[in-house]
A and B are shown apart, each in its own frame.
Chain A
Amino acid sequence: MAAASPDGLAASPLAVDDPTPAAVPRRPVPLQLKAGLVIVVTIVLLGLLAPWIAPHPWDTISMRTRFLPPSATYWLGTDEYGRDVLSRLLMGTRLSLAMGVSATFVSLAFGVPIGLAAGYFRGRIDEVLMRSADVLMAIPPIMLGLLVLAVTPPSLWKTAVAVGFVYIPPIARVTRSVTLALANEDFIQAARARAESASYILFREILPNAWPPLIVEASLRVTYAILLGSALSFLGLGAQPPSSDWGLMISEARSFIDRAPWIALAPGFAMCLLVIGINLVGDGARERLDPRLKSRVGKG
């Protein structure tokens, strides 16, 4: 146990005999966190295994099996081209997850450094960065996304980048407020006194301590990214046919809603379940990390 610490400083001598410090009582894992994790893990597994567990090919057009209602062969029915809705749904899971994760990654990659810099250097840098964030936030997210996508031919990765771009300001804001709080802590003062470089303090001292709230924020951003990405696909500015992106599936099924409602309902419910699952995880994790924030429902 004592040998585990590489720099010989982190492990306190008291911890040698007692590997589990009694000072931090474990709170029980909230029920919503468990429920959310079950939902999310199941969906991620289904998405990853989609090519192997999908009962039919997801993109083979067959005119003889058009508009079949749900049955034993086609659990969720077939669409206007006779393709199995369940198989398309499973393949679309990957697209939705990829959209949520990659867009959030883009927001983090830009938002976190911006927020760190603004919160640590304060002054003019802070003013300029945060006022720029205000400007971006003065446009509703979907319109900012539309604007970015307006002049280039649509494709799914561009949508992911655009969605990620849209959510840079909120991530930057959260990072900034966490940084502001951490910058006054003793260990940061100590690092400054040791004349560490700013980048060392930002990325080695502040960032590791800022992760917990950032991860919670990012997990909630994943749901916004999924919803915004699917809305853009729905509007024709994201995934293109014959992709089985959920937003696109719903968009294509729109014309047949009275004849074959199952084509639109299946991806709709799937998205609902995924978003609820991620929200439960995010809310549960937030409650566990900081019980005072329980009532917060902020979103933007």
Chain B
Amino acid sequence: MAGYLARRLAFIVLVLVAVSILVFGITSLLPANVAYLILGPFAPPEQVRALELRLGLNDPIWEQYGRWASGILRGDLGESMLMNRPIAPLLWEAIVRSLTLTVTSFILIAVIGVTLGVIAALQHGRPLDHTVSVATYLGIAVPEFFWAIVVILVFAAWLGWLPSAGYEPLSAGFWVWAQHIIAPVMTLVFGHLAHVSRLTRSSMIEVMQSPYVTAARAKGLPERVVVIRHALRNALLPTITVLALDFGRLMGGIVVVETVFAYPGLGRLLVFSIQNRDLPTLQAAILVVAAIYAIANFAADLLYVWLNPKIRYGRGVA
């Protein structure tokens, strides 16, 4: 187990190093003069040269990368070009807010998705099954930004239950804080429910037809025990992998959802840094997202191994 863990961790580090090179490479190599981007197209040349010197933009690219990467290893993410503030605290606040959204949505997706999947499987072929299928299908077919707008239309404009956008810290009171969380979470949950519920449904249908479920029933166990203790446990294995992927998709989903709801998290920081050509912030933010994504996948793999005694220590998993 220790060897497997070490290999997986080493691979995560490797992926992050590669991502950092990729991110740095793309942002540096694309035809754009950073100094001009910051100062605007009509900046006097001497001012541009001074800024280039200060930012070390004329050094070879690997030196720039080395400076940036060693800074990150020391915990120094650099300064935001636009806001002239260190990036780390800025990013940290955004991460906490975004994780609030994604983790809440993730838990709801897991619970609601599995429940819907089980219900659909038990009602296999009946109207309720079809209803669940159609509803969750709509969830994936419609882009998140459209759901976000529908949520605003219904809950903010028509019903007036929720604020249409913005963020309030927890210190402003729990309900005020929660009100601003509900709409984006609803959007994320609805947009991502389908994968979990569809997969749970199909693996549940398969498991319910297997001999050991018949045996459990033959023993005279109550149906609830058969479904939850016997069938669901096995049916959940593939679901866990999909849940991990969903966490990654949620990290992508926050970009759009936070923009629509003007929620000051990681996604909005990313879009803001792109719109304002704030490359250091952009690089740091993407690296953080990749790290969260990689760790989520790692956690899912561990959970999978832990739950499934058949593939202990996953030999040969790269």
* Chain A residues within 8 Å of B, Cβ to Cβ: 132, 134-136, 138-143, 146-152, 223, 227, 230-231, 234-237, 247, 250-251, 253-254, 257-258, 261, 264-265, 268, 271-272, 275-276, 279, 294-295, 297-300
* Chain B residues within 8 Å of A, Cβ to Cβ: 15-16, 18-19, 22-23, 26-27, 30-32, 37, 137-138, 140-146, 149-150, 152-153, 156-157, 194-195, 198-199, 202-203, 206, 242, 245, 248-249, 251-253, 255-256, 259-260, 270-271, 274-275, 277, 279, 282, 286, 289-290, 293-294
A140 touches B146 (CB 8 A): no
Output the least CB separation between A81 and chain B (Å).
19
Contacts of B255 in A (CB 8 A): 140, 142-143, 146, 231, 235
Give Cα A275–Cα B137 distance, bound, in whole angstroms: 10
A140 touches B143 (CB 8 A): no
In the complex, the chain A residue whose C-beta lies closest to that of B16 is A138
A268-B15 contact, Cβ under 8 Å, with A147-B26, A295-B202: no
In the complex, the chain A residue whose C-beta lies closest to that of B278 is A150
Contacts of B245 in A (CB 8 A): 299-300
Give Cα A136–Cα B25 distance, bound, in whole angstroms: 13
14 residue pairs bridging A and B, Cβ less than 8 Å apart = A135-B19, A138-B290, A142-B253, A142-B255, A146-B270, A150-B279, A151-B31, A231-B143, A236-B275, A257-B152, A258-B153, A258-B156, A258-B157, A297-B195
Contacts of A134 in B (CB 8 A): 15
B30: contacting residue among A141, A152, A247, CB under 8 A: A152
Give Cα A299–Cα B127 distance, bound, in whole angstroms: 26
Output the least CB separation between B284 and chain A (Å).
13
A231 touches B256 (CB 8 A): yes
Give Cα A152–Cα B15 distance, bound, in whole angstroms: 26
Interface of B is mostly: helix
Contacts of A297 in B (CB 8 A): 194-195, 198-199, 202, 242
Contacts of B137 in A (CB 8 A): 276, 279
A279-B141 contact, Cβ under 8 Å, with A235-B271, A257-B149: yes
Interface of A is mostly: helix
A150 touches B248 (CB 8 A): no
Give Cα A253–Cα B150 distance, bound, in whole angstroms: 12
Q: A151-B32, A254-B260 are in contact. List 5 more A-B contacts (CB 8 A).
A: A138-B15, A139-B22, A231-B143, A251-B145, A254-B149
B203 touches A139 (CB 8 A): no
A272: contacting residue among B141, B149, B249, CB under 8 A: B141
Give Cα A51–Cα B116 distance, bound, in whole angstroms: 44
B252: contacting residue among A140, A254, A268, CB under 8 A: A140
Output the least CB separation between B302 and chain A (Å).
17
In the complex, the chain A residue whose C-beta lies closest to that of B248 is A140
In the complex, the chain B residue whose C-beta lies closest to that of A254 is B149
Contacts of B138 in A (CB 8 A): 272, 276
A261 touches B199 (CB 8 A): no
Contacts of A147 in B (CB 8 A): 23, 26-27, 282, 286
Give Cα A249–Cα B249 distance, bound, in whole angstroms: 24
Give Cα A138–Cα B32 distance, bound, in whole angstroms: 25
A135 touches B22 (CB 8 A): yes
Give Cα A268–Cα B206 distance, bound, in whole angstroms: 36
Give Cα A235–Cα B206 distance, bound, in whole angstroms: 42
Output the least CB separation between A246 and chain B (Å).
9
A237 touches B22 (CB 8 A): no
Give Cα A265–Cα B142 distance, bound, in whole angstroms: 11
Give Cα A35–Cα B317 distance, bound, in whole angstroms: 41
Give Cα A182–Cα B56 distance, bound, in whole angstroms: 52
A148: contacting residue among B26, B143, B251, B277, CB under 8 A: B26
| Most A C-beta atoms less than 10 A away, residue of B30, B274, B293 | B274
In the complex, the chain B residue whose C-beta lies closest to that of A253 is B149
B19 touches A151 (CB 8 A): no
Contacts of A230 in B (CB 8 A): 143, 145
Give Cα A151–Cα B141 distance, bound, in whole angstroms: 30
8 shortest interchain CB distances as A-B pairs: A140-B252, A295-B202, A258-B157, A268-B146, A151-B30, A151-B32, A135-B18, A275-B141
B271 touches A146 (CB 8 A): yes
A146 touches B274 (CB 8 A): yes
B143 touches A247 (CB 8 A): yes
Output the least CB separation between B172 and chain A (Å).
25
Output the least CB separation between B243 and chain A (Å).
13
In the complex, the chain A residue whose C-beta lies closest to that of B26 is A147
